[in-house]
């Protein structure tokens, strides 16, 4: 198996791109990544996406984007694992380059959501839940997270306001990220007073739907320096699953898929949570940040929220999270999100995060979650310059 590095990154601003089609968004991100890597050819393109069919009426987007980008002929497929699609696409590319099948692989995440009505989008997103046992009975993703958050508060003795630090930190970190959807810091008072969506999940617990695309170029580490002065090594990429329906889990408050994929990744890289300088969590809702921190070993059971209250998730804290805004403030174009996490992580590890730059960011991790934890992709990246 070969060592693999990211030699190029690209992204478009997350937002409401009513003037750009899905293929255009994908092309912009791919083109930016290929220019960053100084390459004009790739062997294959893996496109992470969840809802192109449901929301834009287009499947087969691997070929669509490859052709639109002037890469007609190249191997191209779509990879789907609900909101975990983005990092799952990286996993497929990682396997291809590590195993020696391909030398240059573009891994993309792309999603276009804001052209459609809210109800349509809510129904489409519910396809990440169990259609027969959850969605059919009216459970949306907000309500699933509300049930989890309520139970977590009950089990561990927190109030709703205790989750504020997750949202405040995310918004503060997005201010200087030019690709983020929101650039407004929020206060504890704003969090407390924000509109209730599904008790106890309020507006500021929730990430916004959005349009976006992000892309990385992978190559063997042995030749990475021919293309970039700042290669970022992929130390590990692992996928684990769990039951899609929350009621089928052994413990609804423990992300078993998150724990398994983190352990696989730690084991592959020979590191542990104590070695990490930052952690991009999948904060689709504040409760998911807490559960991911616990599953990945950064906090013991029930202590994810306490870690946030102590300020340890902020820049300078023990384990900074959502360092460029997270899903909450960068925005959550679902199938693209996992790739945004990785592009942001790579940006930090390259020391190119501008005013969002963390000191001493050498080794970092991202956890990209599909559904309410049924697919979890853990990726560990490291500076290698």
Residues in contact with a copy of itself by CB under 8 A are 1, 21, 44, 50-51, 53-54, 56-60, 62-64, 66-67, 72-82, 88, 91-92, 95-96, 98-101, 124, 127-132, 135, 238-244, 248, 256-257, 260, 370-371, 374-375
Q: Exactly one of 17, 171, 282, 332 is catalytic; which is it? A: 332
Torsion from C-alpha of 109, 231, 327, 263, nearest 10 degrees: 90
By beta-carbon proximity to a copy of itself, the closer residue of 176 and 241 is 241
Q: Exactly one of 17, 60, 83, 183 is catalytic; which is it? A: 83
By beta-carbon proximity to a copy of itself, the closer residue of 264 and 362 is 264
Looking at the DSSP bridge assignments, the partners of residue 364 are 278, 381
Active site annotation includes 282 = no
By beta-carbon proximity to a copy of itself, the closer residue of 167 and 380 is 380
Alpha-carbon 135 to chain mean position: 23
How many whole angstroms separate alpha carbon 357 and alpha carbon 355?
5
| Alpha-carbon dihedral sign for residues 290, 307, 87, 124 | positive
Active site annotation includes 83 = yes
Contact yes or no for 369/87 (Cβ under 8 A): no
Closest to 265 measured CA to CA, from 300, 289, 297:
297
CB of 225: closest distance to a copy of itself in angstroms? 23
Beta carbons within 10 angstroms of residue 132's beta carbon = 10
Joined tokens for residue 91: 């996993």
CB of 350: closest distance to a copy of itself in angstroms? 26
CB of 87: closest distance to a copy of itself in angstroms? 10
CB of 244: closest distance to a copy of itself in angstroms? 5
How many whole angstroms separate alpha carbon 98 and alpha carbon 101?
8
By beta-carbon proximity to a copy of itself, the closer residue of 42 and 329 is 42
CB of 102: closest distance to a copy of itself in angstroms? 8
By beta-carbon proximity to a copy of itself, the closer residue of 89 and 168 is 89
Q: How far is CA 214 from CA 46, 205, 232, 346, 384, in A?
A: 12, 24, 16, 12, 22
Q: How many Å from the N-terminal Cα to the C-terminal Cα in the chain?
A: 21
- Residues identified as active-site: 83, 332
């Amino acid at each position: 198996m070969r060592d693999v590095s990211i030699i190029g990154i690209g992204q478009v601003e997350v937002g409401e791109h009513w003037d750009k089609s899905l293929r255009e968004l994908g092309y912009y991100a791919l083109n930016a990544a290929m220019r960053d890597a100084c390459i004009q050819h790739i062997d294959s393109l893996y496109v992470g996406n969840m809802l192109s069919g449901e929301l834009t009426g287009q499947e087969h987007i691997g070929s669509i984007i490859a052709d639109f980008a002037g890469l007609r002929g190249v191997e191209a497929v779509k990879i789907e694992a609900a909101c975990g699609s983005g990092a799952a696409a990286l996993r497929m590319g990682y396997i291809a380059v590590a195993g020696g099948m391909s030398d240059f692989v573009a891994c993309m995440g792309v999603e276009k959501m804001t052209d459609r009505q809210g109800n349509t989008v809510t129904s489409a997103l519910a396809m990440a839940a169990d259609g027969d046992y959850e969605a059919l009975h009216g459970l949306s993703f907000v309500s699933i997270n509300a049930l989890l958050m309520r139970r977590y508060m009950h089990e561990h003795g927190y109030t709703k306001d205790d989750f504020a630090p997750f949202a405040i930190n995310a918004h503060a970190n997005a201010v200087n990220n030019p690709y983020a959807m929101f650039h407004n810091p929020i206060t504890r008072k704003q969090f407390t007073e924000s509109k209730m969506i599904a008790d106890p999940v309020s507006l500021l617990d929730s990430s916004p739907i959005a349009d976006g695309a992000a892309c990385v170029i992978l190559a063997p580490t042995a030749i990475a320096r021919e293309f970039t002065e700042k290669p970022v090594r992929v130390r590990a990429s692992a996928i684990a699953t769990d039951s899609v329906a929350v009621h089928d889990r052994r413990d609804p408050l423990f992300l078993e898929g998150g724990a398994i994929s983190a352990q696989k990744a730690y084991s592959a890289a020979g590191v542990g949570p104590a070695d990490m300088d930052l952690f991009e969590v999948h904060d689709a809702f504040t409760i998911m940040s807490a559960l991911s921190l616990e599953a990945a070993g950064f906090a013991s059971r029930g202590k994810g929220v306490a870690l946030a209250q102590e300020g340890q998730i902020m820049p300078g804290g023990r384990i900074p999270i959502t360092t460029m805004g997270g899903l909450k403030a960068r925005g959550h174009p679902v199938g693209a999100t996992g790739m945004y996490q990785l592009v942001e992580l790579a940006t930090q590890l390259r020391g190119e995060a501008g005013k969002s730059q963390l000191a001493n960011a050498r080794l970092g991790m991202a956890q990209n979650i599909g559904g309410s934890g049924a697919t979890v992709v853990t990726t560990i990246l490291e500076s290698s310059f």
